[in-house]
C-alpha cells in the first residue's frame, strides 16, 4: 500500500453536525453503523467510508465554513463536476449532495482499493494511460462549461463555476511583482536573479488555448487503485477549463524530480505539441506561486499545507532548473 503524499488533519465523522449525519442516514435509507476515517488530501473536513445497518456502503466527505472558509467552495465545484460528468468507472459516482449554505457534504460511491504506488513503473504508466482516457471521456461528456451562479428559486447559495487556467496563469504572472518579499529559504537564488526573464517565460502561458475540460489535481492521494488494477480519479475541486496538455502534465508530476519526467513528455501528443518551453514555464509559474503562498497564505485548520507547498515548490523549481541547465 502506498501512503498519500498530501496529508492534512481531518475531522472525524462523529464530530460532523448531527443534522448532516441525519441527512446521510436518510439519504442512504439505513443508519450508519460503521465509519472508517481515511487519510490523504488537505481538507479539514471528514473523509469517511461508511457502512449502514442494511449493508449499504458509501463514502462521505463533509466540511463547514467554520473549519475552513474556502473548502466548501471546492466541494461545491466538485458537486458541479460530478453532476456534469455523470457516472463512469474512472471516477467515484455522486450519490447525493447536501448544502445548507454553511456545511457541504457529498455522498459518493465507496470504491474498494488503496492509493497507487507511483514509484512502480507499471503503475505510473497506467496513470499516464488512464489520464489520457479520462481526458477523452470528460471532453466527450461535457462540451460546454457553466459559469458561477447563485442558486435559483430565491436561494442565495453560491455555485462556483469551473476553474479557468487563463485566470490562474495571470495570477502567476502578477505574483512576480511580490516574489522579492519571499524569504530566501523558499526561493532559490537563480529564480531571484532572473525574475524578469522568468516572468516573460511564464507570460507565454497566457497565449495557450484553454478549450479542454480538465481535472487539474491529479496526484496519488487523489487516486484509488481498484483490486483489479484500474485507477479511479477523486477530488474534483479544481475541475475546469485549460489547455489539452494540462492533465497529462500534472499526471507526470509524481516524478518531476527525475529524468523520467523529461523523457515521458514525448509520449503525450498534447505535450509534444505544447513544447518544452511551455512545460518549463508551467513549472516555474507553479513553483513560484507555491513559494509565495507558503510565505503569505493564512491556512485556517490546514496545519500541514504550508510545508506541502514548500516541498512541491522545491520539486517544481528543481525540475525547472534541470530543464534550463541551471542545476
Cα separation, 125 vs 131, whole angstroms = 10
Do 121-323 and 13-108 have the same topology in CATH? no
| Model pLDDT for residues 215-226, shown as the tens digit of each residue | 999 999 999 999
Q: Are 250 and 244 in contact (CB under 8 A)?
A: no
Q: Is the overall model pTM greater than 0.85, yes or no?
A: yes
The secondary structure of 265-277 as a DSSP string is GGG-HHHHHH-HH
Range scoring the smallest mean pLDDT among 16-20, 152-156, 320-324: 152-156
Can you give the pLDDT at residue 153?
Answer: 45
Distance of CA 59 to CAs 217, 231, 245, Å? 19, 17, 31
Q: Is the dihedral of CA 235, 238, 240, 242 positive or negative?
A: negative
| Other beta carbons within 10 Å of 308 | 18
Q: Is the pLDDT of residue 151 over 60?
A: no
Provide the 3-class DSSP secondary structure of residue 299. coil
Q: Do 10 and 302 contact (CB within 8 A), yes or no?
A: no
Q: What is the model's pLDDT at position 11? A: 92
For 141-182, the DSSP string reads: H-SS-PPPEE-STT---EE---EEHHHHHHHHHHHGGGGGGS
For the cut 60, the answer to whether the pLDDT of residue 5 exceeds it is no
Q: At what angle do helices 71-85 and 121-141 cross, to 10 degrees?
A: 70
User: Angle of helix 276-296 relative to helix 165-175, nearest 10 degrees?
Assistant: 70
62-106: pLDDT as tens digits: 999 999 999 999 999 999 999 999 999 999 999 999 999 999 999
Domain ranges for the chain:
13-108, 121-323
- In this prediction, residue 303 carries a pLDDT of 86
Cell numbers describing residue 316: 517544481
**Residue 241 grid coordinates:** 477549463
Place of cell 485566470: 167
Cβ atoms within 10 Å of 179's Cβ, excluding its own: 19
pLDDT per residue as tens digits for the range 6-25: 555 789 999 999 999 999 99
Please give the pLDDT value at position 149.
Answer: 52
Averaged over 244-261, what is the pLDDT? 97
Q: What does the alpha-carbon distance between residue 130 and residue 139 come to, in Å, rounded to a whole number?
A: 14
In percent, how much of the chain has pLDDT > 70? 94
* Residue of 17 and 158 predicted with greater confidence: 17
pLDDT digits (tens, 9 = 90+) for 264-307: 999 999 999 999 999 999 999 999 999 999 999 988 888 889 99
User: Cell numbers of 70, please?
Assistant: 474556502
pLDDT of residue 155: 46
The pLDDT score that the predictor gives to residue 157 is 64
Which residues lie closer than 8 Å to 257 by C-beta, 6 or more apart?
Answer: 315, 318, 319
Fold classification of 13-108 (topology level): Phosphorylase Kinase; domain 1 (3.30.200)
Q: What grid cell was written down for 246? A: 494540462
Cell of 89: 468507472
CATH class of 121-323: alpha beta
User: From CA 124, how far away is CA 122, in angstroms rounded?
Assistant: 6
Using only C-alpha atoms, the chain has a radius of gyration, in whole angstroms, of 20
> From CA 12, how far away is CA 82, in angstroms rounded?
24
Whether pLDDT at 150 is above 70: no
Lowest mean pLDDT among 2-16, 128-142, 183-197, 234-248: 2-16
Overall average pLDDT of the 21-30 stretch = 98
Amino acid at each position: 500500500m502506498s501512503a498519500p503524499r498530501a496529508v492534512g488533519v481531518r475531522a472525524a465523522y462523529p464530530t460532523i453536525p448531527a443534522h448532516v449525519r441525519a441527512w446521510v442516514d436518510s439519504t442512504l435509507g439505513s443508519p450508519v453503523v460503521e465509519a472508517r476515517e481515511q487519510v490523504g488530501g488537505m481538507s479539514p473536513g471528514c473523509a469517511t467510508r461508511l457502512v449502514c445497518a442494511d449493508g449499504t456502503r458509501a463514502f462521505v466527505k463533509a466540511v463547514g465554513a467554520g473549519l475552513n472558509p474556502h473548502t466548501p467552495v471546492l466541494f461545491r465545484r466538485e458537486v458541479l463536476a460530478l453532476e456534469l460528468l455523470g457516472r463512469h468507472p474512472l471516477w467515484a459516482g455522486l450519490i447525493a449532495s447536501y448544502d445548507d449554505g454553511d456545511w457541504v457534504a457529498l455522498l459518493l460511491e465507496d470504491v474498494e482499493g488503496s492509493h497507487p504506488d507511483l514509484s512502480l513503473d507499471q503503475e505510473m504508466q497506467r496513470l499516464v494511460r488512464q489520464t489520457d482516457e479520462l481526458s477523452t471521456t470528460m471532453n466527450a461528456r461535457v462540451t460546454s462549461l457553466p459559469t458561477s451562479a447563485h442558486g435559483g428559486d430565491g436561494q442565495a447559495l453560491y455555485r462556483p463555476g469551473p476553474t479557468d487556467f487563463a485566470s490562474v496563469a495571470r495570477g502567476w504572472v502578477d505574483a512576480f511583482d511580490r516574489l522579492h518579499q519571499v524569504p530566501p529559504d523558499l526561493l532559490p537564488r537563480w529564480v531571484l536573479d532572473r525574475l524578469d526573464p522568468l516572468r516573460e517565460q511564464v507570460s507565454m502561458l497566457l497565449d495557450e488555448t484553454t478549450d479542454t475540460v480538465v481535472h487539474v489535481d491529479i496526484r496519488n492521494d487523489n487516486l484509488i487503485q481498484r483490486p483489479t488494477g484500474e485507477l479511479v480519479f477523486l477530488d474534483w475541486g479544481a475541475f475546469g477549463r485549460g489547455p489539452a496538455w494540462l492533465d497529462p502534465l500534472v499526471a507526470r508530476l509524481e516524478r518531476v524530480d527525475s529524468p523520467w519526467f523529461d523523457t515521458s513528455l514525448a509520449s503525450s501528443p498534447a505535450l509534444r505539441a505544447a513544447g518544452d518551453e511551455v512545460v518549463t514555464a508551467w513549472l516555474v509559474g507553479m513553483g513560484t506561486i507555491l513559494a509565495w503562498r507558503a510565505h503569505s497564505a493564512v491556512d485556517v485548520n490546514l496545519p500541514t499545507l504550508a510545508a506541502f507547498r514548500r516541498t512541491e515548490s522545491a520539486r517544481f523549481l528543481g525540475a525547472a532548473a534541470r530543464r534550463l541547465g541551471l542545476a
